[in-house]
A and B are shown apart, each in its own frame.
Chain A
Amino acid sequence: DTAVSQTPKYLVTQMGNDKSIKCEQNLGHDTMYWYKQDSKKFLKIMFSYNNKELIINETVPNRFSPKSPDKAHLNLHINSLELGDSAVYFCASSQGIGSGNTIYFGEGSWLTVV
């Protein structure tokens, strides 16, 4: 069983469209994240949620809206997609928050905006 699974893995869409990426973890973790990896492979946190509550919003544009219906799910909705949104988006989870808790990453969602 995949611990952190996200769908779709590949997504090609036009500028201006709205799209969602879904994420589910079956590890029983309390904390979930979205990270973004740009074309230079640089990784940066976007959001973190603990027990469905938003902990970090790392200066992400309002067009990005995470939603956590329960502790096992953290979906990412993106409105009015722009060319610069093309990246790999990683969902992740950890048992607790901070304090050296291991963060487990999903396989990534490759988003290409044309």
Chain B
Amino acid sequence: AQSVTQLGSHVSVSEGALVLLRCNYSSSVPPYLFWYVQYPNQGLQLLLKYTTGATLVKGINGFEAEFKKSETSFHLTKPSAHMSDAAEYFCALDGSSNTGKLIFGQGTTLQVKP
């Protein structure tokens, strides 16, 4: 069965510190992986995605993620946190046979302290 696990439902960092949000997946087929961000009372915005090719993926707002097949991971990082990064972050897997179904992780709330 396909699944996504985000380790840590709540992550707190100081402004300027490294952000690391963890995501592990399980898939029987080569996965397509996504990170979305949700600000309070808003919809989901795509940060970045991995389909094929380069395993280090750069996204918007200075975020990047590395696909590691051997570790079945797709962790999200940002070198220096800003206050505006405080939000809910979702890792998602598209391992479907052309159904368009995204399987989401539980989400991680990122808190940025001044």
A residues adjacent to B (C-beta < 8 A) = 4, 31, 33, 35, 40-45, 48, 50, 55-56, 58, 90, 94, 97-108, 110
Contact = CB atoms under 8 A, between A and B. Distances in A.
Nearest to A55: B99
Interface string B23-39: 00000000010101010
Nearest to B33: A100
Contacts, number: 72
Contacts of A40: 106
A97 B104 CA distance: 17
Contacts of A56: 99-101
Interface residues of B, number: 27
Contacts of A43: 44, 90, 92, 102, 104, 107
A104 B46 contact: yes
15 contacts: A4-B43, A31-B100, A40-B106, A41-B38, A43-B104, A45-B101, A55-B100, A56-B99, A58-B101, A90-B43, A98-B98, A100-B94, A102-B49, A107-B43, A108-B42
B104 A99 contact: no
Contacts of B92: 43
B96 interface: yes
Q: Most chain-A Cβ atoms within 10 A of its Cβ — which of B38, B52, B97, B100? A: B100
Contacts of A33: 100
B32 A103 contact: no
